[in-house]
Amino acid sequence: MSTPLPEPSWRAWHDEEPIRLGISSCLLGAKVRFDGGHKQDRYLSDVLGEWFRWVPVCPELEIGLGVPRPSIHLVQGEPHPRLVEPRSGEDLTERMESYSRARVEELGDRDLDGYILKRASPSCGMERVKVFGAGGMPAKDGVGVFARILMARWPLLPVEEEGRLNDPQLRERFIEHVFCRHRWRTLVRRGLTRRSLIAFHTAHKLLLRAHNETGYARLGRLVAAAGRVPDAELFRSYEEEFNRVLQSRATRKRHANVLYHALGYLREALDPFEKQEAIALIEDYRNELLPLVVPITLLRHHVAKHGVPYLQGQLYLEPHPRELMLRNRV
């Protein structure tokens, strides 16, 4: 049985505002593909759909290409590949680019916390999209036109493809980032102050350290400078650095260091057997014998039992819903 952790867990930072994610419509089962089909991903629609409010977008439909429609693809071009319908030779690049610029602006107003794109699409693919040249095999190094404009306009937005989300590490990192971004935006909506920034930073300390110690230290220096730089500049710099840190990979080694650091706060509370047990689990996790959820669950148990205030406030122990079981496979 899981141990209930006293607030604040991730829930304490959320209010009634939903977590909104943009998504390629076909991934939710909408029959909008060129052949009249869809590419429904059950994990997205049925599992993540319990937690997120989707904002579906089909760029090809929205520029007026019907269903069914001739297939389109990317063709080599400068500065970016062109979007072409090979059968007629029609070049759709300008049409798609001007639509995408307007649409991603509008999506900014919808307060998105992330975006999930359809892989390999000349419109939606975020990487490794086929680009056809004069002859031979197409190079798999393109980015869909809509995806390129979306990522350039909102560089701090967590973006992933449905295929990459089958990787447990990428999935955990993406969803953790989505929840972190949502907490940040909730803080901003409630009225960001120096005081609330410090509370936000304090609650994310262990989580940030698991990603990048150097970035965590930079954030600490920014928070320490509060009051010496204009608030608007402080908040903007913090948001940028916060997102940068979350984009770096949280390795087993870094997690193990954070777990040991957390264990230090329980030094006085644990007896020698409990300490040895915790150390053994952290080492088993570091050596890839156990998933992260195991040492975290033990820590949560000790934190709940002994009530260490600093650790009780650390979102690292529960950054997203346990029901998603994201740490069971990393």
| Residues in Cβ contact with 24 at an 8 Å cutoff, skipping those fewer than 6 apart | 39, 56, 57, 58, 116, 117, 118, 121, 124, 162
**Per rule CB under 6 A, count of chain residues that contact ligand SF4:** 13
Closer to ligand SF4 at the Cβ: 95 or 306? 95
Minimal CA–CA distance to 195: which of 163, 166, 221, 227? 227
Closer to ligand SF4 at the Cβ: 103 or 205? 103
What is the closest distance, in whole angstroms, from the C-beta atom of residue 277 to ligand SF4 in the complex?
Answer: 49
Separation between Cα atoms, residue 294 and residue 18, nearest integer Å: 30
Closer to ligand SF4 at the Cβ: 59 or 81? 59
Closer to ligand SF4 at the Cβ: 17 or 62? 62
Closer to ligand SF4 at the Cβ: 58 or 197? 58
Asked if 243 touches ligand SF4 (CB under 6 A), the answer is no
Sign of the alpha-carbon dihedral angle for 308, 310, 311, 313? positive
Asked if 103 touches ligand SF4 (CB under 6 A), the answer is no
Separation between Cα atoms, residue 252 and residue 12, nearest integer Å: 27
| DSSP labels, 268-297 | TTS-HHHHHHHHHHHHHHHTTSS-THHHHH
- Measured N-to-C along each axis, helices 168-191 and 231-247 cross at an angle, to the nearest 10 degrees, of 170
Asked if 118 touches ligand SF4 (CB under 6 A), the answer is yes
129 CB-contact burial (10 Å; exposed 0-12 / middle 13-18 / buried 19+)? buried
What is the closest distance, in whole angstroms, from the C-beta atom of residue 30 to ligand SF4 in the complex?
Answer: 8
Separation between Cα atoms, residue 224 and residue 38, nearest integer Å: 50
Q: Identify whether the C-beta of residue 117 lies closer than 8 Å to the C-beta of residue 20.
A: no
What is the closest distance, in whole angstroms, from the C-beta atom of residue 85 to ligand SF4 in the complex?
Answer: 13
What is the closest distance, in whole angstroms, from the C-beta atom of residue 158 to ligand SF4 in the complex?
Answer: 18
Closer to ligand SF4 at the Cβ: 126 or 234? 126
Region 120-139 residues binding ligand SF4, contact defined as CB under 6 A = 121, 123-124
Closer to ligand SF4 at the Cβ: 34 or 260? 34
Question: x-or-dash pattern for ligand SF4, window 267-286, by CB under 6 A?
Answer: --------------------
What is the closest distance, in whole angstroms, from the C-beta atom of residue 146 to ligand SF4 in the complex?
Answer: 7
Closer to ligand SF4 at the Cβ: 125 or 295? 125
Q: Identify whether the C-beta of residue 26 lies closer than 8 Å to the C-beta of residue 41.
A: no
What is the closest distance, in whole angstroms, from the C-beta atom of residue 307 to ligand SF4 in the complex?
Answer: 49
Beta bridge partner(s), residue 229: 226
Region 37-76 residues binding ligand SF4, contact defined as CB under 6 A = 58-61
Question: x-or-dash pattern for ligand SF4, window 10-39, by CB under 6 A?
Answer: --------------xxx-----xx------
SS3 217: helix
Separation between Cα atoms, residue 90 and residue 80, nearest integer Å: 17
Q: Give contact residues for ligand SF4 (rule: CB under 6 A).
A: 24-26, 32-33, 58-61, 118, 121, 123-124
